[in-house]
């Protein structure tokens, strides 16, 4: 079946995306773009289906392509095996939104067992999508996915509203930290590094909520320049309120905040880790990983960066085009070829 051929009496193939967590965040925003973008929708009908964790079910899914955005763990493995067995003739794709080299280094005590899990699970799919080139290099370098099954499609959201944010004022005085208040995001070390800046007229605005808020507030206590702004509902307004953005994450599969900040014309400081390395380019700083002194110097450089708003907005247009092209090519590829059997994996 060709990607553009009729299927089940319809003019477009049906692509069902499986999700087990609809918590507001980056994954859901990527899925919103995948399922609602009119350019992608012109070639396939993208449907979102919720599968609560541990309840994948035994029913058959009527689809031309199934795309898993599910969490992979030992408890979920039997359900994934059942999914593959029930849809042996249907192409099944997995998108890896979570696991990275730095995640494994910091969070996985038994790496051999973890790698066995990933190899076993990924072998069930006809294709595995890495959401950044850095993540793809890790999956390939660890032999977690066979090269012929691995594809890299960098995550993306609709960036239109961000490209319309007015250019930041100069001189820069407000740094934004945007995301969940969790250990992953590294806002603790950002606050410590920021507090070493001697400038009285600079501010750090922390946009987000999470389990680490009380600890972060305690870390910032006594420094009126650090402000906690709460949940970031209107992201375009958030980017308009800051002059630059810092992302000192401990691990990150890709990092949508960096993409959005560049689309909004804001320079970005990112940690030299995982998918954040994919954002190298005009308007992006990657300081060394030597500790908080490097991060403090990076913040100084961030405030002094030349204007690269035009380059950032151009990168947003390329990111959206690459995302659309990547998904169109992948779906065309799997629809034109027979699904691989579990035995062949």
pLDDT given at position 232:
85
Q: Helix, strand or coil for residue 16?
A: strand
Strands 127-130 and 65-68 come out as unpaired
List CB contacts of 71: < 8 A, sequence separation 6 or more: 20, 21, 53, 98
Q: Where in the chain is the domain with CATH 3.40.50.2000?
A: 14-158+319-336, 160-314
Q: Which helix (H) or strand (E) holds 219?
A: helix 213-220
pLDDT given at position 4:
35
∠ CA 108-291-139, rounded to 5°: 35
Q: Which of 86, 8, 75 is nearest to 342 (CA)?
A: 86
Residue at token pair 């060709």:
2
CA atoms of 160 and 260, how far apart (whole Å): 10
pLDDT given at position 293:
62
Q: Helix, strand or coil for residue 227?
A: strand
Measure Cα distances from 66 to 13, 94, 242, 307 in Å.
11, 9, 40, 43
Buried b (16+ CB within 10 A) or exposed e, 47-57: ebeebeeeebe
What is the CATH number assigned to the segment(s) 160-314?
Answer: 3.40.50.2000
For 14-158+319-336, CATH number out of 3.40.50.2000, 3.40.50.300, 3.40.50.2300, 1.10.10.60 equals 3.40.50.2000
User: φ, ψ for residue 74 (rounded to 5)?
Assistant: -65, -35
Give average pLDDT by consecutive 10-residue segment, the chain, 345 residues. 40 92 88 95 93 78 96 94 94 98 97 98 98 98 96 97 89 95 96 94 96 96 95 93 96 97 96 95 78 81 91 92 96 77 36
Cβ distance 165 to 232 under 8 Å? no
List CB contacts of 249: < 8 A, sequence separation 6 or more: 179, 184, 185, 186, 255, 270, 271, 273, 274, 276
CA atoms of 165 and 176, how far apart (whole Å): 15
Measure Cα distances from 160 to 237, 245, 263, 284, 322 in Å.
13, 19, 8, 20, 15
pLDDT given at position 211:
95
pLDDT given at position 50:
92
User: φ, ψ for residue 49 (rounded to 5)?
Assistant: -130, 125
DSSP secondary structure, 42-86, as one string: TT-EEEEEE--TT---SPPP--SEEEE-----TTTHHHHHHHHHH
Q: What is the CA radius of gyration of the chain?
A: 21
List CB contacts of 250: < 8 A, sequence separation 6 or more: 102, 106, 183, 184, 185, 186, 271, 273
Cβ distance 278 to 134 under 8 Å? yes
Full-prediction pTM beyond 0.95?
no
Is the preceding omega at residue 171 within 30 degrees of 0, hence cis? yes
Q: Helix, strand or coil for residue 24?
A: coil
Structure token digits, residue 140: 């390939």
């Amino acid at each position: 079946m060709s990607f553009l051929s009729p299927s089940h009496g319809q003019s477009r193939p049906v692509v069902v995306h499986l999700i087990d967590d609809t918590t507001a965040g980056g994954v859901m925003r990527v899925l919103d773009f995948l399922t609602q973008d009119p350019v992608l929708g012109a070639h396939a009908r993208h449907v979102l289906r919720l599968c609560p964790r541990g309840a994948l079910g035994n029913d058959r899914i009527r689809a031309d392509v199934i795309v898993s955005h599910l969490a992979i763990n030992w408890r979920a493995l039997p359900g994934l095996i059942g999914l593959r067995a029930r849809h042996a003739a249907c192409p099944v794709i997995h998108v890896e939104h979570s696991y990275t080299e730095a995640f494994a280094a910091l969070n996985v005590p038994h790496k051999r067992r973890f790698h066995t899990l990933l190899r076993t699970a990924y072998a069930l799919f006809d294709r595995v999508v890495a959401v950044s080139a850095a993540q793809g290099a890790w999956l390939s370098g660890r032999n977690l996915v066979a090269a012929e099954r691995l594809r890299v499609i960098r995550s993306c959201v609709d960036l239109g509203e961000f490209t319309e944010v007015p250019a930041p004022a100069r001189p820069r005085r407000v740094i934004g930290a945007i995301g969940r208040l969790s250990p992953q995001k590294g806002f603790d070390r950002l606050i410590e590094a920021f507090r070493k800046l001697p400038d009285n007229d600079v501010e750090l605005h922390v946009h987000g909520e999470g389990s680490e808020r009380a600890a972060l507030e305690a870390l910032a206590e006594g420094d009126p320049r650090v402000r906690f702004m709460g949940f970031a509902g209107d992201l375009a307004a958030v980017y308009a309120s800051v002059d630059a953005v810092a992302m000192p994450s401990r691990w990150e599969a890709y990092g949508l905040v960096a993409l959005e900040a560049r689309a909004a014309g804001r320079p970005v400081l990112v940690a030299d880790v995982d998918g954040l390395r994919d954002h190298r380019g005009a308007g992006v700083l990657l300081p060394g990983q030597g500790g908080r002194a490097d991060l403090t110097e990076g913040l100084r450089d961030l405030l002094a960066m030349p204007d690269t708003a035009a380059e950032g907005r151009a990168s947003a247009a390329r990111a959206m085009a690459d995302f659309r092209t990547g998904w169109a090519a992948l779906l065309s590829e799997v629809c034109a070829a027979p699904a691989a059997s579990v035995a062949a994996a």
